[in-house]
Chain A
Amino acid sequence: MKKKSKANFVNPFIFLLFCIALFLGFKINEKQNWIQIPAIGTWLPYENWFQFYDHEVSASIEYHHLVDDMYTNGTNSCASLFDGIVLKTDEESVTVLHDNGVLGVYAQLEDVVVKGDERVLKGQSLGAFKDSLKLEFKKDDQKLSYEEVVKL
Protein backbone atom coordinates (compact mmCIF):
# COMPACT_ATOMS: atom_id res chain seq x y z
CA MET A 1 0.00 0.00 0.00
CA LYS A 2 1.28 3.45 -0.85
CA LYS A 3 0.89 5.97 1.91
CA LYS A 4 1.19 9.72 1.58
CA SER A 5 4.12 11.00 3.67
CA LYS A 6 3.77 13.92 6.02
CA ALA A 7 6.58 16.43 6.46
CA ASN A 8 7.84 16.74 10.02
CA PHE A 9 10.19 19.70 10.27
CA VAL A 10 12.46 20.82 13.11
CA ASN A 11 10.70 22.70 15.90
CA PRO A 12 10.70 26.32 14.63
CA PHE A 13 11.02 27.77 18.14
CA ILE A 14 14.18 25.79 18.91
CA PHE A 15 15.56 26.65 15.48
CA LEU A 16 14.87 30.37 16.11
CA LEU A 17 16.59 30.20 19.52
CA PHE A 18 19.53 28.44 17.89
CA CYS A 19 19.80 31.19 15.23
CA ILE A 20 19.69 33.95 17.88
CA ALA A 21 22.37 32.19 19.97
CA LEU A 22 24.48 31.73 16.85
CA PHE A 23 24.15 35.39 15.88
CA LEU A 24 25.07 36.60 19.39
CA GLY A 25 27.99 34.20 19.57
CA PHE A 26 29.20 35.43 16.20
CA LYS A 27 29.01 39.10 17.23
CA ILE A 28 30.77 38.50 20.57
CA ASN A 29 33.48 36.46 18.86
CA GLU A 30 33.98 39.26 16.34
CA LYS A 31 34.68 41.70 19.20
CA GLN A 32 36.65 39.37 21.47
CA ASN A 33 38.38 37.30 18.76
CA TRP A 34 38.22 34.11 20.86
CA ILE A 35 37.96 31.59 18.07
CA GLN A 36 40.20 31.61 15.01
CA ILE A 37 38.07 30.27 12.20
CA PRO A 38 39.83 27.86 9.80
CA ALA A 39 40.45 29.05 6.24
CA ILE A 40 37.28 28.89 4.15
CA GLY A 41 38.84 26.99 1.27
CA THR A 42 39.76 24.04 3.50
CA TRP A 43 36.23 23.28 4.64
CA LEU A 44 33.87 24.68 2.00
CA PRO A 45 32.32 21.64 0.32
CA TYR A 46 33.02 20.93 -3.35
CA GLU A 47 35.38 23.87 -3.82
CA ASN A 48 38.70 22.09 -4.05
CA TRP A 49 37.73 18.44 -4.36
CA PHE A 50 38.45 18.40 -8.06
CA GLN A 51 40.94 21.30 -8.13
CA PHE A 52 38.96 23.24 -10.70
CA TYR A 53 40.92 26.42 -10.48
CA ASP A 54 44.49 26.61 -11.58
CA HIS A 55 46.90 28.16 -9.13
CA GLU A 56 49.84 27.98 -11.51
CA VAL A 57 48.29 30.41 -14.00
CA SER A 58 47.60 32.99 -11.34
CA ALA A 59 50.86 32.45 -9.47
CA SER A 60 52.39 35.31 -11.46
CA ILE A 61 50.34 38.07 -9.77
CA GLU A 62 52.90 40.65 -8.92
CA TYR A 63 52.53 44.25 -7.90
CA HIS A 64 55.36 46.78 -8.15
CA HIS A 65 55.80 49.40 -5.51
CA LEU A 66 55.55 52.99 -6.71
CA VAL A 67 55.30 55.30 -3.71
CA ASP A 68 53.78 55.01 -0.19
CA ASP A 69 51.01 52.39 -0.48
CA MET A 70 50.62 52.85 -4.22
CA TYR A 71 51.28 49.89 -6.53
CA THR A 72 50.87 48.81 -10.12
CA ASN A 73 51.06 45.45 -11.88
CA GLY A 74 51.60 46.48 -15.48
CA THR A 75 47.92 46.04 -16.34
CA ASN A 76 44.76 47.91 -15.43
CA SER A 77 43.20 44.95 -13.69
CA CYS A 78 43.33 44.64 -9.92
CA ALA A 79 43.84 40.96 -9.13
CA SER A 80 43.23 39.32 -5.76
CA LEU A 81 46.51 38.16 -4.21
CA PHE A 82 45.00 35.07 -2.56
CA ASP A 83 41.72 33.19 -2.25
CA GLY A 84 39.28 34.95 0.05
CA ILE A 85 35.90 36.42 0.66
CA VAL A 86 34.77 39.96 -0.15
CA LEU A 87 33.82 41.70 3.08
CA LYS A 88 32.74 45.01 1.62
CA THR A 89 32.90 47.08 -1.51
CA ASP A 90 32.27 50.69 -2.37
CA GLU A 91 32.70 52.75 -5.52
CA GLU A 92 36.48 52.68 -5.42
CA SER A 93 37.65 50.00 -3.00
CA VAL A 94 37.31 46.31 -2.18
CA THR A 95 38.05 44.74 1.19
CA VAL A 96 38.89 41.05 1.06
CA LEU A 97 39.42 38.66 3.96
CA HIS A 98 41.95 36.22 2.52
CA ASP A 99 42.11 32.57 3.55
CA ASN A 100 45.53 33.08 5.14
CA GLY A 101 43.98 35.56 7.60
CA VAL A 102 45.22 38.69 5.82
CA LEU A 103 42.71 41.50 5.46
CA GLY A 104 43.44 43.23 2.16
CA VAL A 105 42.14 46.59 1.04
CA TYR A 106 42.44 47.25 -2.70
CA ALA A 107 41.66 50.96 -3.05
CA GLN A 108 41.61 53.84 -5.53
CA LEU A 109 39.98 51.71 -8.18
CA GLU A 110 38.10 53.19 -11.11
CA ASP A 111 35.70 50.29 -11.35
CA VAL A 112 34.71 47.52 -8.92
CA VAL A 113 33.47 44.22 -10.40
CA VAL A 114 32.77 42.12 -7.29
CA LYS A 115 29.99 42.25 -4.70
CA GLY A 116 29.92 41.78 -0.94
CA ASP A 117 30.11 38.26 0.59
CA GLU A 118 31.28 36.74 -2.69
CA ARG A 119 34.09 34.21 -2.85
CA VAL A 120 37.13 35.36 -4.83
CA LEU A 121 39.96 33.15 -5.96
CA LYS A 122 43.62 33.98 -6.34
CA GLY A 123 44.20 36.03 -9.48
CA GLN A 124 40.53 36.91 -9.95
CA SER A 125 39.86 40.47 -11.04
CA LEU A 126 38.36 42.67 -8.34
CA GLY A 127 38.19 45.81 -10.47
CA ALA A 128 40.13 48.16 -12.67
CA PHE A 129 42.48 51.04 -11.93
CA LYS A 130 43.95 53.82 -14.03
CA ASP A 131 47.66 54.22 -13.30
CA SER A 132 48.07 52.80 -9.83
CA LEU A 133 46.09 51.41 -6.92
CA LYS A 134 46.45 51.54 -3.16
CA LEU A 135 47.14 48.29 -1.33
CA GLU A 136 46.81 47.95 2.44
CA PHE A 137 47.14 44.72 4.40
CA LYS A 138 46.47 43.77 8.01
CA LYS A 139 46.81 40.56 9.96
CA ASP A 140 45.89 40.21 13.65
CA ASP A 141 45.54 44.02 13.83
CA GLN A 142 49.13 44.44 12.62
CA LYS A 143 49.72 46.42 9.46
CA LEU A 144 51.75 44.45 6.91
CA SER A 145 53.53 45.59 3.79
CA TYR A 146 52.91 43.99 0.40
CA GLU A 147 56.38 42.39 0.56
CA GLU A 148 55.58 40.77 3.91
CA VAL A 149 52.21 39.54 2.69
CA VAL A 150 53.52 37.78 -0.42
CA LYS A 151 56.00 35.86 1.77
CA LEU A 152 53.18 34.41 3.92
Chain B
Amino acid sequence: MKLHFSFLWLLFLILSLFSHALKVYLIIFLMLFIHEMAHVLMALKLGYQVGVIHVYPFGFSAQIYHLDHGQVFEILLILFAGLGMHLLFFPLIEFVYRWDMISFGFRDYLMQINAAILLFNLLPLYPMDGGRIFLCILRFIFSYDFSRKVVLFFSLIFSILLFIIGMWNMKIIMLFLMFLLINEIRRNGEDLVEFSYRQRNHFKLDKNHV
Protein backbone atom coordinates (compact mmCIF):
# COMPACT_ATOMS: atom_id res chain seq x y z
CA MET B 1 0.00 0.00 0.00
CA LYS B 2 1.45 3.36 -1.05
CA LEU B 3 0.33 6.94 -0.57
CA HIS B 4 0.64 9.19 -3.62
CA PHE B 5 0.09 12.92 -3.19
CA SER B 6 -1.00 14.67 -6.39
CA PHE B 7 0.46 18.01 -7.46
CA LEU B 8 -3.02 19.58 -7.26
CA TRP B 9 -3.28 18.56 -3.61
CA LEU B 10 -0.03 20.37 -2.84
CA LEU B 11 -1.34 23.39 -4.71
CA PHE B 12 -4.49 23.36 -2.60
CA LEU B 13 -2.44 23.02 0.58
CA ILE B 14 -0.37 26.07 -0.36
CA LEU B 15 -3.51 28.01 -1.30
CA SER B 16 -5.11 27.16 2.02
CA LEU B 17 -2.01 28.23 3.91
CA PHE B 18 -1.73 31.53 2.08
CA SER B 19 -5.42 32.32 2.45
CA HIS B 20 -5.56 31.46 6.18
CA ALA B 21 -7.90 28.54 5.46
CA LEU B 22 -5.55 25.79 6.61
CA LYS B 23 -7.71 24.84 9.60
CA VAL B 24 -10.83 24.56 7.43
CA TYR B 25 -9.06 22.61 4.69
CA LEU B 26 -7.40 20.21 7.15
CA ILE B 27 -10.74 19.41 8.80
CA ILE B 28 -12.25 18.64 5.36
CA PHE B 29 -9.16 16.63 4.53
CA LEU B 30 -9.47 14.65 7.77
CA MET B 31 -13.08 13.77 6.94
CA LEU B 32 -12.02 12.57 3.49
CA PHE B 33 -9.12 10.60 4.97
CA ILE B 34 -11.33 8.77 7.49
CA HIS B 35 -13.85 8.05 4.72
CA GLU B 36 -11.20 6.43 2.52
CA MET B 37 -9.50 4.58 5.37
CA ALA B 38 -12.84 2.98 6.25
CA HIS B 39 -13.05 1.64 2.65
CA VAL B 40 -9.47 0.41 2.79
CA LEU B 41 -9.75 -1.29 6.18
CA MET B 42 -12.99 -3.03 5.24
CA ALA B 43 -11.45 -4.17 1.92
CA LEU B 44 -8.38 -5.55 3.70
CA LYS B 45 -10.61 -7.27 6.25
CA LEU B 46 -12.52 -8.97 3.42
CA GLY B 47 -9.29 -10.11 1.78
CA TYR B 48 -8.97 -7.60 -1.06
CA GLN B 49 -5.57 -6.21 -1.99
CA VAL B 50 -4.99 -2.49 -1.84
CA GLY B 51 -2.54 -0.74 -4.15
CA VAL B 52 -1.81 2.97 -4.31
CA ILE B 53 -3.92 5.49 -2.39
CA HIS B 54 -4.03 8.70 -4.43
CA VAL B 55 -4.52 11.98 -2.57
CA TYR B 56 -6.40 14.59 -4.62
CA PRO B 57 -7.66 18.01 -3.48
CA PHE B 58 -11.26 16.79 -3.60
CA GLY B 59 -10.64 13.49 -1.89
CA PHE B 60 -8.80 10.21 -1.92
CA SER B 61 -8.89 7.34 -4.34
CA ALA B 62 -7.80 3.95 -3.07
CA GLN B 63 -6.89 1.34 -5.64
CA ILE B 64 -8.67 -1.77 -4.37
CA TYR B 65 -7.82 -4.56 -6.78
CA HIS B 66 -10.79 -6.31 -8.38
CA LEU B 67 -13.30 -4.49 -6.20
CA ASP B 68 -16.06 -4.75 -8.82
CA HIS B 69 -15.35 -8.42 -9.42
CA GLY B 70 -16.18 -9.52 -5.89
CA GLN B 71 -19.42 -10.59 -4.31
CA VAL B 72 -22.07 -7.85 -4.41
CA PHE B 73 -22.62 -7.89 -0.64
CA GLU B 74 -18.88 -7.58 -0.01
CA ILE B 75 -18.65 -4.62 -2.38
CA LEU B 76 -21.60 -2.95 -0.69
CA LEU B 77 -19.98 -3.48 2.73
CA ILE B 78 -16.77 -1.81 1.53
CA LEU B 79 -18.67 1.11 -0.03
CA PHE B 80 -20.96 1.71 2.93
CA ALA B 81 -18.04 1.54 5.38
CA GLY B 82 -16.74 4.80 3.90
CA LEU B 83 -20.13 6.44 3.44
CA GLY B 84 -21.19 5.43 6.95
CA MET B 85 -18.37 7.48 8.42
CA HIS B 86 -20.21 10.65 7.38
CA LEU B 87 -23.21 9.61 9.47
CA LEU B 88 -20.83 9.39 12.45
CA PHE B 89 -19.36 12.82 11.66
CA PHE B 90 -22.68 14.57 12.35
CA PRO B 91 -22.78 13.66 16.08
CA LEU B 92 -18.99 14.03 16.26
CA ILE B 93 -19.17 17.64 15.02
CA GLU B 94 -21.96 18.27 17.54
CA PHE B 95 -19.75 16.90 20.35
CA VAL B 96 -16.82 19.04 19.24
CA TYR B 97 -19.13 22.07 19.36
CA ARG B 98 -20.43 21.13 22.84
CA TRP B 99 -16.83 20.84 24.05
CA ASP B 100 -16.46 24.47 22.93
CA MET B 101 -13.75 23.69 20.39
CA ILE B 102 -15.68 25.30 17.52
CA SER B 103 -18.37 27.97 17.32
CA PHE B 104 -22.04 27.38 16.50
CA GLY B 105 -21.68 28.94 13.04
CA PHE B 106 -18.67 26.78 12.21
CA ARG B 107 -20.54 23.71 13.48
CA ASP B 108 -23.29 24.47 10.93
CA TYR B 109 -20.70 25.01 8.24
CA LEU B 110 -18.98 21.67 8.93
CA MET B 111 -22.35 19.88 8.99
CA GLN B 112 -23.05 21.33 5.52
CA ILE B 113 -19.63 20.32 4.23
CA ASN B 114 -20.10 16.81 5.61
CA ALA B 115 -23.51 16.55 3.93
CA ALA B 116 -21.99 17.84 0.68
CA ILE B 117 -19.24 15.20 0.75
CA LEU B 118 -21.80 12.48 1.43
CA LEU B 119 -24.09 13.73 -1.32
CA PHE B 120 -21.25 14.06 -3.79
CA ASN B 121 -20.09 10.52 -3.11
CA LEU B 122 -23.63 9.24 -3.60
CA LEU B 123 -23.86 10.69 -7.13
CA PRO B 124 -24.40 7.68 -9.42
CA LEU B 125 -21.15 8.30 -11.27
CA TYR B 126 -18.66 5.49 -11.80
CA PRO B 127 -16.02 5.04 -10.27
CA MET B 128 -17.30 7.00 -7.28
CA ASP B 129 -19.14 5.22 -4.45
CA GLY B 130 -22.60 6.07 -5.81
CA GLY B 131 -21.68 4.72 -9.24
CA ARG B 132 -20.41 1.47 -7.75
CA ILE B 133 -23.58 1.13 -5.64
CA PHE B 134 -25.58 1.69 -8.83
CA LEU B 135 -23.57 -1.12 -10.48
CA CYS B 136 -24.23 -3.45 -7.52
CA ILE B 137 -27.97 -2.77 -7.66
CA LEU B 138 -28.06 -3.51 -11.40
CA ARG B 139 -26.04 -6.69 -10.83
CA PHE B 140 -28.89 -8.03 -8.67
CA ILE B 141 -31.10 -7.96 -11.79
CA PHE B 142 -28.85 -8.06 -14.86
CA SER B 143 -25.56 -9.65 -15.89
CA TYR B 144 -22.28 -8.02 -14.88
CA ASP B 145 -21.46 -7.11 -18.49
CA PHE B 146 -24.78 -5.40 -19.19
CA SER B 147 -24.85 -3.62 -15.79
CA ARG B 148 -21.34 -2.26 -16.31
CA LYS B 149 -22.16 -0.93 -19.77
CA VAL B 150 -25.30 0.81 -18.48
CA VAL B 151 -23.44 2.36 -15.53
CA LEU B 152 -20.53 3.59 -17.66
CA PHE B 153 -22.83 5.08 -20.29
CA PHE B 154 -25.04 6.75 -17.69
CA SER B 155 -21.98 8.08 -15.79
CA LEU B 156 -20.52 9.58 -18.96
CA ILE B 157 -23.76 11.39 -19.85
CA PHE B 158 -24.25 12.59 -16.25
CA SER B 159 -20.65 13.81 -15.90
CA ILE B 160 -20.94 15.78 -19.18
CA LEU B 161 -24.12 17.36 -17.84
CA LEU B 162 -22.44 18.28 -14.54
CA PHE B 163 -19.45 19.62 -16.46
CA ILE B 164 -21.75 21.96 -18.35
CA ILE B 165 -23.76 23.23 -15.39
CA GLY B 166 -21.15 22.94 -12.61
CA MET B 167 -18.82 25.55 -11.17
CA TRP B 168 -15.15 25.55 -12.17
CA ASN B 169 -13.99 23.25 -9.38
CA MET B 170 -16.81 20.84 -10.27
CA LYS B 171 -15.79 21.11 -13.96
CA ILE B 172 -12.24 20.00 -13.09
CA ILE B 173 -13.40 16.88 -11.28
CA MET B 174 -15.92 16.07 -14.03
CA LEU B 175 -13.18 16.34 -16.65
CA PHE B 176 -11.08 13.96 -14.58
CA LEU B 177 -14.03 11.58 -14.25
CA MET B 178 -14.71 11.68 -18.00
CA PHE B 179 -11.09 10.75 -18.63
CA LEU B 180 -11.41 7.79 -16.23
CA LEU B 181 -14.72 6.74 -17.76
CA ILE B 182 -13.40 6.75 -21.33
CA ASN B 183 -10.52 4.61 -20.12
CA GLU B 184 -12.97 2.21 -18.46
CA ILE B 185 -15.14 2.03 -21.59
CA ARG B 186 -12.05 1.22 -23.70
CA ARG B 187 -11.05 -1.64 -21.42
CA ASN B 188 -14.56 -3.05 -21.08
CA GLY B 189 -13.73 -6.32 -22.85
CA GLU B 190 -10.58 -6.82 -20.79
CA ASP B 191 -12.56 -6.20 -17.59
CA LEU B 192 -15.13 -8.81 -18.56
CA VAL B 193 -12.37 -11.41 -19.06
CA GLU B 194 -10.90 -10.51 -15.66
CA PHE B 195 -14.35 -10.77 -14.06
CA SER B 196 -14.99 -14.24 -15.53
CA TYR B 197 -11.52 -15.38 -14.46
CA ARG B 198 -11.99 -14.11 -10.92
CA GLN B 199 -15.44 -15.70 -10.66
CA ARG B 200 -14.09 -19.10 -11.80
CA ASN B 201 -11.12 -18.93 -9.41
CA HIS B 202 -13.32 -17.85 -6.56
CA PHE B 203 -15.47 -20.93 -6.97
CA LYS B 204 -12.39 -23.17 -7.12
CA LEU B 205 -11.08 -21.55 -3.95
CA ASP B 206 -14.37 -22.19 -2.19
CA LYS B 207 -14.30 -25.83 -3.21
CA ASN B 208 -10.75 -26.21 -1.94
CA HIS B 209 -11.79 -24.70 1.38
CA VAL B 210 -14.63 -27.20 1.67
Which residues of chain A have a CB within 8 Å of any CB of chain B?
A: 2-3, 5-10, 22-23, 25-26, 29, 35, 37-40, 42-50, 52-53, 85, 87, 97, 113-115, 117-121, 124-125
Contact = CB atoms under 8 A, between A and B. Distances in A.
A43 B112 contact: no
B15 interface: yes
A124 to B, nearest CB: 5
Given A46-B113, A47-B116, A49-B167, A115 B106 contact: yes
Given A26-B18, A38-B15, A121-B109, 4 more contacts: A8-B3, A37-B18, A45-B169, A49-B169
Contacts of B12: 43, 45
Interface string B6-48: 0000001111111111111100100000000000000010010
Given A10-B5, A47-B116, A113 B14 contact: no
B113 A47 contact: yes
B109 A49 contact: no
Contact of A114 (B1, B3, B106): B106
Contact of A5 (B16, B49, B116): B49
B120 A49 contact: yes
B166 interface: yes
B103 interface: yes
Nearest to A5: B1
Contacts of A113: 103-105
Contacts, number: 112
Interface in B41-78: 44, 47, 49-50, 57-59
A40 B21 contact: yes
Contacts of B119: 50
Nearest to A23: B17
Nearest to B103: A114
A107 B49 CA distance: 56
B117 interface: yes
B203 interface: no
24 contacts: A2-B49, A5-B50, A7-B1, A7-B3, A10-B3, A25-B14, A37-B15, A37-B19, A38-B15, A40-B19, A42-B168, A42-B169, A43-B169, A44-B24, A44-B28, A45-B12, A46-B113, A50-B116, A50-B119, A113-B103, A114-B105, A115-B102, A117-B20, A117-B22
